[in-house]
Amino acid sequence: MLSLRLNRGLQPDSYRPVFKSHRRLHIPGILDAASAAALHALVAGPNEWTRSVHLAAGQDVDILVSELEALTPEQRAEFERSLVDSSSESLKYVFDTVRISSELDGGRPVSAPMRSLHDFVNGPAFLDFFRRLTGDDRVAFADVMATRYLPGHFAGAHGDHIPGQHRLYAYVLNLTPDWRADWGGVLMFQDEDGHIAEGYTPKFNALNVFAVPQTHAVSMVTRLARAPRLSVTGWIHARD
Protein backbone atom coordinates (compact mmCIF):
# COMPACT_ATOMS: atom_id res chain seq x y z
CA MET A 1 0.00 0.00 0.00
CA LEU A 2 1.26 3.48 -0.90
CA SER A 3 1.76 5.67 2.16
CA LEU A 4 2.19 9.40 1.54
CA ARG A 5 2.86 12.24 3.97
CA LEU A 6 3.20 15.99 3.57
CA ASN A 7 6.43 17.67 4.60
CA ARG A 8 5.92 18.58 8.27
CA GLY A 9 7.96 21.75 7.85
CA LEU A 10 5.41 23.38 5.55
CA GLN A 11 3.58 26.45 6.84
CA PRO A 12 0.61 27.01 4.50
CA ASP A 13 -0.75 29.93 6.54
CA SER A 14 2.45 31.88 5.87
CA TYR A 15 2.03 31.38 2.11
CA ARG A 16 -1.50 32.78 2.08
CA PRO A 17 -0.72 36.51 1.62
CA VAL A 18 1.42 35.81 -1.45
CA PHE A 19 -1.14 33.45 -2.92
CA LYS A 20 -3.98 35.91 -2.28
CA SER A 21 -2.20 38.69 -4.15
CA HIS A 22 -0.55 36.61 -6.87
CA ARG A 23 -3.17 33.83 -7.40
CA ARG A 24 -0.46 31.25 -8.00
CA LEU A 25 2.46 29.76 -6.09
CA HIS A 26 5.38 27.33 -6.43
CA ILE A 27 5.92 25.35 -3.20
CA PRO A 28 9.09 23.20 -3.03
CA GLY A 29 9.37 20.07 -0.90
CA ILE A 30 5.64 19.38 -0.62
CA LEU A 31 6.08 15.73 0.46
CA ASP A 32 8.57 14.21 2.86
CA ALA A 33 11.53 12.59 1.10
CA ALA A 34 10.33 8.99 1.43
CA SER A 35 6.87 9.85 0.10
CA ALA A 36 8.28 11.75 -2.86
CA ALA A 37 10.50 8.79 -3.77
CA ALA A 38 7.63 6.32 -3.45
CA LEU A 39 5.28 8.44 -5.56
CA HIS A 40 7.92 8.91 -8.24
CA ALA A 41 8.46 5.16 -8.39
CA LEU A 42 4.71 4.62 -8.83
CA VAL A 43 4.23 7.13 -11.64
CA ALA A 44 7.51 6.24 -13.38
CA GLY A 45 6.76 2.51 -13.19
CA PRO A 46 4.63 0.40 -15.52
CA ASN A 47 1.20 1.99 -15.94
CA GLU A 48 -1.64 1.70 -18.44
CA TRP A 49 -1.08 5.09 -20.06
CA THR A 50 -3.60 6.69 -22.40
CA ARG A 51 -2.42 9.08 -25.12
CA SER A 52 -4.77 12.03 -24.73
CA VAL A 53 -5.14 14.44 -27.63
CA HIS A 54 -7.48 17.42 -27.99
CA LEU A 55 -8.06 19.25 -31.25
CA ALA A 56 -8.80 22.96 -31.34
CA ALA A 57 -12.20 22.19 -32.90
CA GLY A 58 -13.19 20.37 -29.72
CA GLN A 59 -12.57 16.73 -30.66
CA ASP A 60 -11.00 14.48 -28.03
CA VAL A 61 -8.92 11.49 -29.10
CA ASP A 62 -7.86 8.96 -26.46
CA ILE A 63 -6.00 5.77 -27.27
CA LEU A 64 -4.16 3.35 -25.03
CA VAL A 65 -0.42 3.75 -25.53
CA SER A 66 -0.09 -0.04 -25.57
CA GLU A 67 -2.48 -0.14 -28.56
CA LEU A 68 -0.64 2.70 -30.25
CA GLU A 69 2.69 0.91 -29.84
CA ALA A 70 1.19 -2.25 -31.39
CA LEU A 71 0.46 -0.44 -34.68
CA THR A 72 2.76 -0.90 -37.63
CA PRO A 73 4.97 2.09 -38.50
CA GLU A 74 2.65 2.86 -41.42
CA GLN A 75 -0.45 2.72 -39.21
CA ARG A 76 1.25 4.85 -36.57
CA ALA A 77 2.20 7.48 -39.16
CA GLU A 78 -1.36 7.51 -40.51
CA PHE A 79 -2.75 7.98 -37.00
CA GLU A 80 -0.42 10.89 -36.34
CA ARG A 81 -1.34 12.50 -39.68
CA SER A 82 -5.06 12.10 -38.97
CA LEU A 83 -4.76 14.32 -35.90
CA VAL A 84 -3.56 17.37 -37.80
CA ASP A 85 -4.54 16.66 -41.42
CA SER A 86 -6.87 19.65 -41.71
CA SER A 87 -6.37 23.33 -42.43
CA SER A 88 -9.07 24.23 -39.90
CA GLU A 89 -7.93 22.10 -36.97
CA SER A 90 -4.77 21.97 -34.90
CA LEU A 91 -3.63 20.20 -31.78
CA LYS A 92 -4.64 21.83 -28.51
CA TYR A 93 -2.74 19.37 -26.33
CA VAL A 94 -1.13 15.94 -26.39
CA PHE A 95 0.22 14.00 -23.41
CA ASP A 96 -0.15 10.63 -21.65
CA THR A 97 -2.39 10.19 -18.65
CA VAL A 98 -3.86 7.80 -16.12
CA ARG A 99 -7.22 9.37 -15.23
CA ILE A 100 -7.48 7.96 -11.72
CA SER A 101 -10.58 9.82 -10.57
CA SER A 102 -12.44 9.23 -13.82
CA GLU A 103 -11.71 5.52 -13.64
CA LEU A 104 -12.93 5.31 -10.05
CA ASP A 105 -16.04 7.36 -10.82
CA GLY A 106 -16.79 5.05 -13.72
CA GLY A 107 -16.46 1.92 -11.58
CA ARG A 108 -13.43 0.69 -13.51
CA PRO A 109 -10.50 -1.07 -11.82
CA VAL A 110 -7.63 1.02 -10.47
CA SER A 111 -4.47 -0.38 -8.91
CA ALA A 112 -4.24 -0.27 -5.12
CA PRO A 113 -1.33 2.25 -5.14
CA MET A 114 -3.22 4.58 -7.50
CA ARG A 115 -6.29 4.35 -5.27
CA SER A 116 -4.09 5.21 -2.27
CA LEU A 117 -2.83 8.26 -4.17
CA HIS A 118 -6.41 9.34 -4.84
CA ASP A 119 -7.30 8.86 -1.16
CA PHE A 120 -4.28 10.90 -0.04
CA VAL A 121 -5.14 13.86 -2.28
CA ASN A 122 -8.73 13.70 -0.99
CA GLY A 123 -7.65 13.13 2.59
CA PRO A 124 -7.82 15.63 5.47
CA ALA A 125 -4.12 16.55 5.45
CA PHE A 126 -3.95 17.55 1.77
CA LEU A 127 -7.34 19.30 1.62
CA ASP A 128 -6.72 21.14 4.90
CA PHE A 129 -3.38 22.28 3.48
CA PHE A 130 -5.31 23.88 0.61
CA ARG A 131 -7.85 25.48 2.94
CA ARG A 132 -5.08 27.05 5.01
CA LEU A 133 -3.09 28.11 1.96
CA THR A 134 -6.04 29.76 0.22
CA GLY A 135 -8.23 30.71 3.18
CA ASP A 136 -11.07 29.16 1.20
CA ASP A 137 -13.55 27.03 3.16
CA ARG A 138 -15.26 25.92 -0.06
CA VAL A 139 -12.46 23.38 -0.68
CA ALA A 140 -14.27 20.03 -0.68
CA PHE A 141 -12.59 17.41 -2.88
CA ALA A 142 -10.02 16.91 -5.62
CA ASP A 143 -9.77 14.94 -8.81
CA VAL A 144 -6.51 13.20 -9.58
CA MET A 145 -4.62 12.02 -12.64
CA ALA A 146 -1.05 11.02 -13.38
CA THR A 147 0.48 12.68 -16.44
CA ARG A 148 3.48 11.94 -18.61
CA TYR A 149 4.87 14.36 -21.19
CA LEU A 150 7.25 12.86 -23.73
CA PRO A 151 9.18 14.79 -26.42
CA GLY A 152 6.65 16.56 -28.62
CA HIS A 153 3.98 16.67 -25.91
CA PHE A 154 2.53 19.99 -24.76
CA ALA A 155 -0.62 21.75 -23.57
CA GLY A 156 -1.77 24.89 -25.37
CA ALA A 157 -3.08 27.98 -23.62
CA HIS A 158 -6.30 27.42 -21.68
CA GLY A 159 -7.97 28.60 -18.47
CA ASP A 160 -9.30 25.35 -16.89
CA HIS A 161 -12.80 26.72 -16.27
CA ILE A 162 -15.61 24.31 -17.21
CA PRO A 163 -19.18 25.34 -16.37
CA GLY A 164 -20.77 23.18 -13.70
CA GLN A 165 -17.55 21.60 -12.42
CA HIS A 166 -16.91 24.16 -9.63
CA ARG A 167 -13.15 24.14 -10.07
CA LEU A 168 -11.49 26.45 -7.55
CA TYR A 169 -7.77 25.71 -7.93
CA ALA A 170 -5.48 23.65 -10.10
CA TYR A 171 -2.49 21.78 -8.72
CA VAL A 172 0.57 20.07 -10.24
CA LEU A 173 2.78 17.85 -8.08
CA ASN A 174 6.00 17.48 -10.07
CA LEU A 175 7.82 14.13 -10.02
CA THR A 176 10.74 14.33 -12.46
CA PRO A 177 14.20 14.60 -10.88
CA ASP A 178 16.83 16.85 -12.44
CA TRP A 179 14.67 18.65 -15.00
CA ARG A 180 16.07 21.56 -17.00
CA ALA A 181 14.03 24.50 -18.27
CA ASP A 182 15.52 24.21 -21.76
CA TRP A 183 13.97 20.74 -22.05
CA GLY A 184 10.53 22.42 -22.19
CA GLY A 185 7.62 21.22 -20.07
CA VAL A 186 7.48 24.59 -18.30
CA LEU A 187 4.17 25.67 -16.76
CA MET A 188 3.73 29.13 -18.27
CA PHE A 189 1.26 31.85 -17.25
CA GLN A 190 0.20 34.46 -19.79
CA ASP A 191 -0.69 38.09 -19.19
CA GLU A 192 -3.47 40.01 -20.97
CA ASP A 193 -1.14 40.88 -23.85
CA GLY A 194 -0.22 37.24 -24.46
CA HIS A 195 3.28 37.56 -23.02
CA ILE A 196 4.73 34.99 -20.61
CA ALA A 197 4.28 36.62 -17.22
CA GLU A 198 5.83 33.77 -15.24
CA GLY A 199 6.98 30.18 -15.70
CA TYR A 200 7.52 27.28 -13.30
CA THR A 201 10.05 24.60 -14.19
CA PRO A 202 8.79 21.15 -13.05
CA LYS A 203 11.12 20.84 -10.06
CA PHE A 204 10.98 17.47 -8.31
CA ASN A 205 8.63 17.27 -5.32
CA ALA A 206 7.35 20.82 -5.83
CA LEU A 207 3.65 21.69 -5.85
CA ASN A 208 2.43 24.33 -8.28
CA VAL A 209 -0.94 25.83 -7.32
CA PHE A 210 -3.04 28.44 -9.09
CA ALA A 211 -6.55 29.83 -8.97
CA VAL A 212 -9.03 28.96 -11.72
CA PRO A 213 -9.55 30.51 -14.22
CA GLN A 214 -6.05 31.61 -15.22
CA THR A 215 -4.56 31.40 -18.71
CA HIS A 216 -1.64 28.98 -18.76
CA ALA A 217 0.11 26.44 -20.96
CA VAL A 218 2.80 23.75 -20.79
CA SER A 219 5.62 24.34 -23.26
CA MET A 220 6.49 21.51 -25.64
CA VAL A 221 8.96 18.95 -24.30
CA THR A 222 12.01 18.89 -26.55
CA ARG A 223 14.11 16.01 -27.85
CA LEU A 224 16.80 17.07 -25.37
CA ALA A 225 14.75 15.76 -22.42
CA ARG A 226 16.47 12.77 -20.83
CA ALA A 227 13.37 11.54 -19.02
CA PRO A 228 9.60 11.95 -19.23
CA ARG A 229 8.03 14.92 -17.48
CA LEU A 230 5.98 13.21 -14.76
CA SER A 231 3.41 14.70 -12.42
CA VAL A 232 0.22 14.19 -10.48
CA THR A 233 -2.29 16.88 -11.32
CA GLY A 234 -5.93 17.83 -11.04
CA TRP A 235 -8.33 20.40 -9.64
CA ILE A 236 -9.66 21.29 -6.23
CA HIS A 237 -13.44 21.56 -6.30
CA ALA A 238 -16.25 23.08 -4.29
CA ARG A 239 -19.42 21.10 -3.73
CA ASP A 240 -22.35 21.62 -6.11
Q: Which helix (H) or strand (E) holds 190?
A: strand 187-190
pLDDT tops 80 at residue 143: yes
How much is the pLDDT for 88?
43
Domain-by-domain residue ranges, the chain?
Answer: 12-45+95-237
Class of domain 12-45+95-237: mainly beta
- Claim: this prediction has a pTM higher than 0.75: yes
pLDDT bin (cut points 50, 70, 90) of residue 149 is very high
**Residue 219 to residues 58, 98, 107, 184, 230, Cα–Cα distance (Å):** 20, 20, 34, 5, 14
User: Cα–Cα distances in Å, from 138 out to 21, 87, 213, 235, 238?
Assistant: 19, 43, 16, 13, 5
Contact criterion met (CB below 8 Å) for 234 and 143: yes
Find out whether 235 and 212 touch, Cβ atoms under 8 Å: yes
Residue 90: band (very low, low, confident or very high) from pLDDT cuts 50, 70, 90: low
Q: What is the pLDDT of residue 85?
A: 53
- Say if residue 32's pLDDT is above 80: yes
pLDDT of amino acid 17: 97
* Amino acid, res. 59: Q
Quote the CA–CA distance of 5 and 28 in Å, as a whole number.
14
DSSP annotation string for 197-215: EEEE---TT-EEEEESS--
End-to-end Cα, the chain, rounded Å: 32
Average pLDDT of span 44-73? 88
Q: Residue 73: is the preceding peptide bond cis (ω within 30°)?
A: no
